[in-house]
Chain A
Amino acid sequence: MTTRNKKVLLKVIILGDSGVGKTSLMNQYVNKKFSASYKATIGADFLTKEVLIDDRLVTMQLWDTAGQERFQSLGVAFYRGADCCVLVYDVNNSKSFDTLDSWRDEFLVQASPMDPESFPFVVIGNKIDMGEEKRVVCVSVIMLLKGVIADRLKISAKRASTFCQSKGGIPYFETSAKEALNVEDAFEVIARQALAQEEAGDFSNDFPDTTIDVNRDYPDQGCSC
C-alpha cells in the first residue's frame, strides 16, 4: 500500500543549551526573520512549515525548547513521536558543544524511539557570523554529508565532525541564523532524515492514518507529572 497521497507530519525536536540560537534558527527557516531580541524560550513551542521533498508535500513541525537543563525533565511530553532530533550548539562556546552528548542521551531516554541506534540526529553549529571566521564559511552540503570538513573552520568543526562520526555519521552543519547561512540546507537534510524515519515507521503499519495516532498514544510514562 502506497502512502504517497497521505499528508505527512514530520515532528522535529530542536535541543541545545540556552542561548545557542534554537529559536533564531527556527524563525530564520520558517519566517525568514532574525531578531537579536528573542526572549529566552520558556517551556516549549513549535512552528510548522510545509516543504516539498521530491514531489512530496510534507508538513514539518519544528519544536523549539527551553535550553535550560533545569527545565527539561518536566516537558518531555512532546519528545514522543519525534522523527528527527536537531542538536544545536554555539561555535563560539565550547561548553555548549560539550553538552551535546547529554542532550542526545536525554532525548533517547525520554523519546524512547523504537530503534535508538538508527534514530536520525542532525548537529548544527550556529553563530558562525561572529568573530574573525565570519567570511570564510561556506561549506557545501555534500562535503558535510561525507563528513569532510574544511579545516579553515573553527576548531570545533573538527571536533564536531569527530563527534558526529562517532555517533554513526550524524549530518553536521555550520550555520548563521542571523545571516541565513546554510540554514535552508540544514533543514532540507533534517526534513529528508525525518521523512525517511517516518516511512521506516510505516513499514510496520498497513494503515497509514493511524501512524500518528500510534505515536500520540504512546504509553504515558510520566503519568501526569
Chain B
Amino acid sequence: MTAQPTPRGPPSPTASFYDLSDDEEGEYNTIRHSSSGKGVKLLYTKSKVYVHPTPSAKDNIPGFIALVQQKAAISNDARPPSSSSAKPTTSSSLLLAWMPESSLGDAYDTYVKVDLSDSASPPRQSYLVPPPPTTTAHGHAVGAYAFAVPVSEVYSLLIRPPSIGWYFGSVVINTRAGDSFPALFFHDSECQSTIMQRKKLAKESFDPFGDGGGMFWGGDEVLRWLKRYVAVERSADPSTFLIAPSDEDKVSFGSKSPAMKKREQEEASSSSAQQKRDGGMDGLTKTLKEARWNFLEKLSQVTTFTRRTAEAVAESKNIPPQVRRLLKNPEVQTLQDEFDSARIYLARWAMGIAEQSERERTQRIWTAKDVLEMEDSEVGEFEILDVESSAAAAEKRKPVTMKEWKGFFDSKGTLQVTPDEVKERIFHGGLDLNDGVRKEAWLFILGVYNWDSDSEERQAYMNSRRDEYIRLKGAWWERMIEGHSTPEENEYWKDQKNRIDRHIPIFEGEDIPHPDPDSPFAETGTNVHLEQMKDMLLTYNEYNKDLGYVQGMSDLLAPIYAVMQDDAVAFWCFERNFLRDQSGMRKQLMTLDHLVQLVDPKLYLHLEKADSNNFFFFFRMLLVWYKREFEWLDVLRLWEALWTDYLSSNYHLFVAVAILEKHRDVIMQHLQHFDEVLKYINELSNTMDLPSTLVRAESLFRRFQRTVEAVDKKHSFPSPSVRQRKPEASSTSNVGASSGTSSGRTPANGTKPSTGAEKERVISPELRGLLSRKVEKLNKEEIQAHGGGVGP
C-alpha cells in the first residue's frame, strides 16, 4: 500500500486524498471536516502553483491554490471565534488550500473550470468539490504537501513577486499558531488563467508595457480573493500581508508603526496613484516591477547599458525613492562602474535587490520578534519563512549563550554532555556574539583544547602554549634587533598587516605613526592591534619557516584575533585554522566538481558549456572560507559552524553548492562564458544572506547523503543483467525508509547526468570523503612538499 508501483502514473481516483483511511487522516491536526458529505464550494482557484520540495526542478509538485467555502460553518460553529479575527464567521468558513494536481481525482475538471472562469467578480455559480483535509499546522507528513487552512487561522502571507533572479513569484502562508507552510511558487507562464488575465489587463489599462507582462502575476490574485472576504493589511515589512489583523497586530506590525509611517511618507508621492491598479501591491514590490520595466525599456533602445543610462534612470522623477536610493548605494554604484553587459548587469541587479529585500525582511522580522517577546504576546512567534518553517527550527537556531555553554560543564570544568551535542548546538545556533562565549568555545571547536579535559588541565596547557608563543616570537625579534633579519623578512611582511580589515573597529585606529616613512602606507597610521597582527604573522613564519607568507593568512587570522584579543591564544587558534584550510585547493575544487555533478547535473552541464567547470570562480571562497564574501559578523558565525565538523569536515563545499544553487537560474539563463560566471560570482561578495545559505547547505548535505546511501544500496543488490523497473523501485523505497524522510522522490536515479547515464555510477573517493567528519590536516612537511597544499 505504501509502496506505489507507479509513482509517476496519471492522477487516478484511487490515489486521491479522499480515499485516505481515517487513521491516515488523523495525522493531520484536524479542526473540522465538512459535516455534509457533499463537499465544499470552490470559490476561486489558480492552476500551476507548485511546491518546490528540493532545489531540483524535477521534484516540483504542480497543484492548485484555492479559496473554498465550507457550508456548515456558519450555523454549527462550536469553536469560539478567534478573538483577534475581524470577521470570524466569514473567515472561519473559508479555507485557503493547496492541492497537488495528482490528488484531485475527478474534481480536477472542476478546478480547471473555476480557474478559467472570470475571477474579477464574485463567482455566480456554485462549484462543489470534495472537502480538503483541514489543517492548521504544516506537519511534515510523508510527501503530502497538501493543506487547507481556515482563513481565520491565517496570520499573514509573505508575498514575493517574480523578479529576474527569482523567476517564480511565491506566497508563504503563516498561521496564527506560528507555523508556516511551504512556499507556493506561481509558474505564471504555464498558468492559462494568469496568461488570460494578463492579456485582459493589458487591453484595459493602455499600459504601454503591458505586453511585457511583468506587472501582473498569480500571487496578486490570491490577495484579491482574500480582500473580498477579510481585511488584508500590509505590515511594516513590505512583503508581509496581515490577514484580518487584530489591533495589537496592527500596532506591532501594521501601518501604524513608526518605521512604517516613515516609509509611507517616502513612498506617498510616487506610489499612491498606482496603488489601485496594482491590486494593493506593496510599495517595494511594485517599485521593483516598475523599475525593471524602465530598465528593460531603456535596454531595448541601447544594446549596451551605459552608466549614463543608469544615471538617467536614477534621476528620473518617475522612479520611486526606494529604487533611487538603491541605485545610489555604494554597492550598486560599484556594479554600475564595472558592468560587463546589459544582461549580466540586469541579472546581478535583480539578484542584488532580492538579497537586499531578503535581508531587510529578516531584520525587520527579528525586530518584531523581539517586540513580541517583550510583550509576551499570545500572537505567537513570527517566522523567518524562507529560512525555516517550524518553531522547533527557531529553537534550534538560537545562539548558544555563555550561560548555556557553562551548563555543559560541571564545577571542575569537565564536559557533561557529548561533544557532539555541543557541536550540534553550535552548528545550528552559532555562539552569542556579545557575551564572550566565543573566546572559550572556539578553543574547543578548533581543537586547541581537548573535549575531555578539565579546567585545570586546560589552564596548564594554555600556559605552556603561551610560553611557546613567547619563545617563537623572541626568536625573530632577537634577530631583528641584532640586524640579522633577511631583507625578505622585512620587505615582505611589514605591510601585509595593512592589507586586512581596516574597517573593523579594532583595526581602524591610527594612533601609532607608521614605522616606515617610505612605505606606501606611511600616511595611514597603525595601531596596537595591527602591530600584534604583524607580530603573529612573523611568529608564524618562525614556527613554519618553510611556508613563508601565504596570501589569505591575514584573512584567516584577523577574525580570530579580533575575537580573542590575546595574541598567544589567537596564534594557536590560527595555527589550527590555517593548517586545515590550506589543505589541497586543487583537491577541493575537484571535489566540488564531483559534488555539483551529483546534486545538480543540469547546472553542471551548463557550467561545462560555459567553460567554467574548473570551478576556479570558487577559489577565493574556498581558500579563505568565505571571509571576503560575507559580512564580518556573518564570517564569525559561518566559521564556527564549519569548525564543528558536525556533518562533514568539508562542509564549506556544501556552502559553495548552496550559493551556487541560489543563483542557479541566473547562471543558467544569463551566463554563457567563464568570464561572466567569474565576474558574477566575485560580485556576490558582501551581498549574500548567511542564514538562508546555511539552511540550504544543510538540506543539500542531507540530500547528498541520501543519494550516496541510495547508490550504495543499489550496489549491494545483485544487479540483473537487464535493468528492470522492480529492483529500482525497491531501492528507492528503501531510501525513504532508511532515512526516515518523505522521499519517495529521492533522486537516486533522476540525478544521473544525462550523458553517460548508462554507465555505472560510482561515488568517487573525494565525494565519499565528504561524509567524513575527520579533519585532514597537513603537517608541515607536506606543506613544504606540496607548496601549502595547493599543489597537485
Chain A residues packing against B (C-beta within 8 Å): 18-19, 30-31, 36-48, 61, 66-68, 70-71, 73-75, 77-78, 92-93, 95, 127, 129-131, 178, 216-217, 220, 222, 224-225
Contacts and interface: CB of A to CB of B under 8 A. Distances in A.
A9 to B, nearest CB: 9
Nearest to A222: B614
8 contacts: A31-B337, A39-B555, A43-B623, A44-B619, A48-B338, A78-B616, A130-B520, A225-B590
A71 B588 CA distance: 14
Given A61-B675, A70-B790, A71-B551, A36 B523 contact: yes
The 10 closest A-B pairs by CB, nearest first: A43-B619, A43-B620, A42-B620, A68-B551, A40-B551, A40-B499, A75-B616, A37-B502, A45-B682, A36-B521
Contacts of B499: 37-40
B498 interface: yes
Nearest to A68: B551
A225 B675 contact: no
B305 interface: no
Interface in B592-606: 593
A74 B620 CA distance: 12
A74 B619 contact: yes
Contacts of B498: 36-37
Contact of A70 (B619, B679, B788): B788
B623 to A, nearest CB: 6
Contacts of A68: 550-551
B289 interface: no
A65 B338 CA distance: 17
B674 A18 contact: no
A30 B554 CA distance: 27
Interface in B443-494: 488, 491-492
B130 interface: no
Interface string B595-637: 0000000000000000101101101100110001000000000
A75 B619 contact: yes
Contacts of B552: 40, 42
A20 to B, nearest CB: 11
Given A39-B500, A66-B551, A71 B624 contact: no
Interface string B714-742: 00000000000000000000000000000
A42 B628 CA distance: 10
B279 to A, nearest CB: 41
A66 B492 CA distance: 15
Contact of B674 (A70, A74, A77): A77
Contacts of A71: 551, 585, 619, 623, 790
B589 interface: yes
A77 B614 contact: yes
B520 A70 contact: no
A194 to B, nearest CB: 15
B787 A70 contact: yes
Interface string B316-337: 0000000000000000000001
Contacts of A19: 492, 495
Contacts of B61: none
Contacts of B611: 77, 216-217, 220
Contact of B614 (A40, A48, A70, A225): A225
A224 B550 contact: no
Given A70-B788, A78-B616, 10 more contacts: A19-B495, A37-B502, A39-B628, A44-B619, A48-B340, A67-B551, A68-B551, A73-B790, A74-B586, A217-B611
B492 to A, nearest CB: 8
Interface string B529-567: 000000000000000000000111011000000000000
A224 B616 contact: no
Nearest to B617: A43
B678 A45 contact: yes
A74 B589 contact: yes
A92 B494 CA distance: 14
B518 A131 contact: yes
B112 to A, nearest CB: 46
B71 interface: no
B520 to A, nearest CB: 6
B673 interface: yes
Most buried by A among B554, B611, B616: B616
Contacts of A43: 616-617, 619-620, 623, 682
B377 interface: no
Contacts of A129: 520
B607 to A, nearest CB: 10
Contact of B524 (A37, A46, A217): A37
Contacts of B555: 39, 42
A217 B611 CA distance: 8
A74 B790 contact: yes
A225 B678 contact: no
Contacts of B613: 224
B524 A42 contact: no
B399 to A, nearest CB: 29
Interface string B761-792: 00000000000000000000000000110110
A149 to B, nearest CB: 23
Given A39-B628, A42-B619, A42-B623, A74 B585 contact: yes
Nearest to B495: A19
Given A36-B520, A70-B788, A222-B614, A42 B679 contact: no
A163 B552 CA distance: 32
Contacts of B589: 74, 225
Contacts of B791: 73
Contact of A224 (B500, B518, B593, B787): B593
A2 to B, nearest CB: 20
B32 to A, nearest CB: 58
A225 B416 CA distance: 46
Interface in B363-389: none
